[in-house]
Chains A and B, each alone.
Chain A
Amino acid sequence: MRLPALAALLLAAAAPAAARDQLNLFAWSEYVPQKVIDGFTAETGTEVNYETFSSNEEMISKLVAGHGDYDLVQPSDYAAEALIKAGLLAPLDPAQLRNRDNLDPAFRHLPHDPAERYTVPYMAGTVGLCINTAVVTAPVTGYADVFQPRFAGRIVVLNDNREIVSWALATLGLPPNQITPQTLAQVRPVIARWVKLVKVFDSDSPKTALLNGDVDLGVVWSGEAAILWKQDHKYRYVLPREGAHQYIDCLAIPVGAPHPAAAHRFIDYLLRPEVSKLISDEFPYTNPNAAARKLLSPEQLSNPASYPPAGKLETFRDIGRLASAVDQLMTDIKSGQ
């Protein structure tokens, strides 16, 4: 069928890019709408090659293992911090990012990149409690309320070891980034108790278990809860009172990117309010672009998972080598029960 094409592709693999400008985008799947990409190509003539990943760690490992020739990557805050520390991100040129002032001040000068040298926020979200209020009538406002014996076998949580540890830390009144061998030992019995009550660990699609009726409540990404809310308002989203994790996914340019100018243009394009609105239309995350928010419908803004009422929010910082200890703790606990 495409044998000549294959031969041409193999030969062209090492050849320089075609006359049309290209942009190699390495981003989360289901996070950059096709409409947005097509709009950019139509306006600038730049072809966008959209490659996807499903977790920060996958992205980091591919960046680290070999040159992906990417122009733009989409790390979350702590992942960006790790990449900055490792010298893998290129500094941005503020002159090419005029639309950056559209962002809400709350999303500027974030802890992982205070000088805003390397990253620009894309979309944000939180990790919180999603409750099927048709089944669960008791008030649930915190992690402690979720992990009760009466909900045994009816709980879904993210399959993310660091997340679970941070929740346990929150219930003990400790900051989520204070991960040391001592605090890990402190949270161990808490998590061991919790794990016995959980029916499903799922980071990819926790809403499935909730929709299926296999679980009644859980700790999930706000994006998932927002989709559930759109489906049926019985799925309420609540930020846990002990403290919730807010994540901010950013755009960044890796060192050695072949098309940095196109990358800057794309970032600036995404910062336009009407473009940012398109993203929110398709994916109900928290939009950090204040100008875009003015264009959203009341229905969108009233989604408690997309725009939760103010709560105690903390972002993750990079924990470096301790990620290994976290993983060992959770593996040990999960394996032991």
Chain B
Amino acid sequence: MSGESNRAGPCAWLLLAPLLAWLAAFVVAPTAILVVYAFCQHDELGRVVYQFTFDNFARAADRVYLVIFARSIGYAALTTALCLAAGFPAAWHIARAPADRRRHLLLLVMIPFWTSFLIRTYAWMTILKQDGLLNGLLRAAGLIPAPLELLYTPGAVTLGLVYTYLPFMILPIYASAEKLDGALLEAAQDLGAGPWRIFPTVVFPLAWPGIAAGLLLVFVPAIGMFAVTDLMGGGRIPLIGNVIQNQFTQARDWPFGAALGVVFLALFAAAFAVLRRARPAVP
């Protein structure tokens, strides 16, 4: 990196100003509103009453909510791992494909998600339900004697989550892997390394920025996802997204919802700041 012009001068700050202004108006200000709410009390309608209280945060530390947080994080972690396992090979393949096919494949990956998530999820339910397509196929092929209970299970929930977030793992890995110089791979092969050595030593470290981006783009939003999981899981298992949503609707307790949200954000901010320092060295 060229040394002297590295520090941001007034020109750079000016260019960054629009983005900063956007952040200030539409991220900082609303977040500040939420933080204020989190310390307030509520009235009968759920509205905020500007009287200071620490109760909301005290309540957020209750065992019930900690368990729910943990459960949500667990599902998100599983989803991320599965997305990585399924998405990396596909992203890699697309990135190494000939140039004209690359864009087609990418668009193919995204197009299903231009339909409403509700319609897609209902379609999955049609496939997975007891007298649904999958069971019908398996029974017709004689593989199972009686229909399997596929829907309204943790498996269905995971499938729904993986389905929702897979493209958000594939795209960043593609962006990163696309620039990988084929010569590097050839050189490693010429030196006698097989694919099982090339992957951890060459491919993975070089694709790491994309992988890290994919991990972040899947793991973090997945923690707060509840719409798809409610449909696929039958709404039996409360996740943190449900709980927060409820506070602004059924439970009529905006300050508590805000407090849960603030805790959520704080956890994320801390993890994010830590992760930024802990990048693995790229050779």
A and B touch in the complex (CB under 8 A): yes
Binding site for B on A (CB under 8 A): 55, 57-58, 60-61, 64, 82-83, 85-86, 159-162, 195, 198-202, 208-209, 212-214, 318, 320-321, 323-324, 326-328, 331-332, 334-336
Closest to B48 in A: A64
Is there contact, CB below 8 Å, between B235 and A213? Answer: no
By a CB distance below 8 angstroms, the chain A residues around B47 are 64, 86
By a CB distance below 8 angstroms, the chain A residues around B125 are 208, 212
By a CB distance below 8 angstroms, the chain A residues around B238 are 331, 334-335
By a CB distance below 8 angstroms, the chain B residues around A321 are 42-44, 252
Is there contact, CB below 8 Å, between B234 and A55? Answer: no
CA separation between A57 and B248, bound complex, in Å?
8
Is there contact, CB below 8 Å, between B251 and A212? Answer: no
Is there contact, CB below 8 Å, between B45 and A86? Answer: yes
Contact pattern, B 140-159, Cβ under 8 Å of A = 1, otherwise 0 = 00000000000110000000
- Interface residue B61 (Cβ < 8 Å from any Cβ of A): no
By a CB distance below 8 angstroms, the chain B residues around A82 are 44-45
- Interface residue B185 (Cβ < 8 Å from any Cβ of A): no
Is there contact, CB below 8 Å, between A61 and B250? Answer: no
Partner of A214 from the list B42, B151, B246, B252 (CB cut-off 8 Å) is B151
Is there contact, CB below 8 Å, between A60 and B46? Answer: yes
By a CB distance below 8 angstroms, the chain A residues around B234 are 198-202, 209
Is there contact, CB below 8 Å, between B64 and A324? Answer: no
Starting from the known contacts A61-B46, A331-B246, 16 additional A-B residue pairs (CB-CB under 8 Å) come to A61-B248, A64-B46, A86-B47, A200-B152, A201-B234, A202-B234, A208-B122, A213-B129, A214-B130, A321-B44, A323-B46, A323-B253, A327-B251, A327-B253, A334-B238, A335-B238
Is there contact, CB below 8 Å, between A57 and B252? Answer: yes
- Interface residue B186 (Cβ < 8 Å from any Cβ of A): no
Contact pattern, B 242-283, Cβ under 8 Å of A = 1, otherwise 0 = 010011111111101000000000000000000000000000
Q: List 22 A-B contacts (CB under 8 A).
A: A60-B45, A82-B44, A83-B45, A85-B45, A161-B251, A199-B234, A199-B236, A200-B152, A200-B235, A201-B230, A201-B234, A212-B131, A212-B132, A212-B151, A214-B130, A323-B46, A324-B247, A331-B238, A332-B64, A334-B237, A335-B64, A335-B68
Interface size class of B (residues with CB under 8 A): 35 or more
Is there contact, CB below 8 Å, between A214 and B152? Answer: yes
Partner of A159 from the list B46, B235, B243, B247 (CB cut-off 8 Å) is B235
Is there contact, CB below 8 Å, between B250 and A327? Answer: yes
Closest to B47 in A: A64
Binding site for A on B (CB under 8 A): 42-47, 64, 67-68, 71, 122, 125, 129-132, 151-152, 230, 234-238, 243, 246-254, 256
Is there contact, CB below 8 Å, between A323 and B251? Answer: yes
Q: A214-B130, A335-B68 in contact; A57/B237 too (CB < 8 A)? A: no
CA separation between A138 and B239, bound complex, in Å?
36
Partner of A55 from the list B43, B152, B249 (CB cut-off 8 Å) is B249
Is there contact, CB below 8 Å, between B250 and A323? Answer: yes
Is there contact, CB below 8 Å, between A334 and B236? Answer: yes
Is there contact, CB below 8 Å, between B249 and A198? Answer: no
Is there contact, CB below 8 Å, between A328 and B64? Answer: yes
Closest to A159 in B: B235
Closest to B248 in A: A61
Is there contact, CB below 8 Å, between B131 and A213? Answer: yes
CA separation between A331 and B60, bound complex, in Å?
13
CA separation between A202 and B227, bound complex, in Å?
11
By a CB distance below 8 angstroms, the chain A residues around B249 are 55, 57-58, 61
Is there contact, CB below 8 Å, between B152 and A199? Answer: yes
Is there contact, CB below 8 Å, between A64 and B130? Answer: no
CA separation between A107 and B206, bound complex, in Å?
71
CA separation between A183 and B130, bound complex, in Å?
38
Q: A57-B252, A199-B234 in contact; A214/B45 too (CB < 8 A)? A: no
Counting chain A CB atoms within 10 Å of each CB, the highest count among B43, B47, B132, B249 belongs to B249
CA separation between A336 and B65, bound complex, in Å?
11
Closest to B71 in A: A335
By a CB distance below 8 angstroms, the chain B residues around A212 are 125, 129-132, 151
By a CB distance below 8 angstroms, the chain A residues around B64 are 328, 331-332, 335-336
Is there contact, CB below 8 Å, between B256 and A324? Answer: yes
By a CB distance below 8 angstroms, the chain A residues around B151 are 212, 214
By a CB distance below 8 angstroms, the chain B residues around A326 are 250-251
By a CB distance below 8 angstroms, the chain B residues around A202 are 234-235
Counting chain A CB atoms within 10 Å of each CB, the highest count among B131, B132, B151, B246 belongs to B246
